[in-house]
């Protein structure tokens, strides 16, 4: 897999799903992200990061609850949201950020 820093520096926005395997609400996120990917295609890259396996990143990004979605573009965090966000709410937010 590519280096995460290189991916985050990309001009293509990167949506990161910070999750934990023990988290019930986290199980609701994959179908939402599939719908987002189906609608936005190559305009957005989606990555899942297990906070228990990546504790350093979790601390760096100050993840205090899961699921948390982080949106990066050009290496900068441009949006974040904790909790489950339904696709019909997430899509307009992402489309606005993709402009």
* 3-state SS, residue 19: strand
Task: Answer yes or no: are the C-beta atoms of 23 and 67 closer than 8 Å.
Answer: yes
44-97 pLDDT tens trace: 999 999 999 999 999 999 999 999 999 999 999 999 999 999 999 999 999 998
**Which residues, other chains included, contact 20 with Cβ-Cβ below 8 Å and sequence gap of 6+?**
26, 50, 51, 52, 66
| pTM as predicted | 0.93
Instruction: Name the band, by pLDDT with cuts 50, 70 and 90, for residue 1.
Output: very low
Contacts of 58 (CB under 8 A, 6+ apart): 18, 49, 51
Check whether the bond before 67 is cis (ω within 30° of 0): yes
C-beta atoms surrounding 9 within 10 Å: 14
pLDDT digits (tens, 9 = 90+) for 17-53: 999 999 999 999 999 999 999 999 999 999 999 999 9
All domains in the chain, ordered by first residue = 4-98 (3.40.30.10)
Rounded Cα gap, residues 71 and 69, in angstroms: 7
50 beta partners = 19
Catalytic residue among 8, 14, 15, 26: 26
User: What's the CA gap between 47 and 18, in Å, rounded?
Assistant: 9
4, 7, 23, 47: which is the annotated catalytic residue?
Answer: 23
Question: Is 26 an annotated catalytic residue?
Answer: yes
């Amino acid at each position: 897999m590519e280096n995460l820093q290189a991916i985050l520096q990309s001009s293509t926005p990167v949506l990161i799903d910070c999750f934990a395997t023990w988290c019930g609400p986290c199980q609701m996120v994959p179908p939402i992200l599939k719908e987002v990917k189906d609608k936005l295609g190559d305009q957005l890259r989606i990555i899942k990061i297990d906070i228990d396996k990546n504790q350093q990143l979790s601390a760096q990004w100050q993840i205090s609850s899961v699921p948390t979605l982080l949106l990066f573009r050009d290496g900068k965090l441009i949006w974040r949201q904790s909790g489950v966000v339904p696709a019909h709410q997430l899509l307009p937010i992402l489309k606005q950020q993709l402009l």
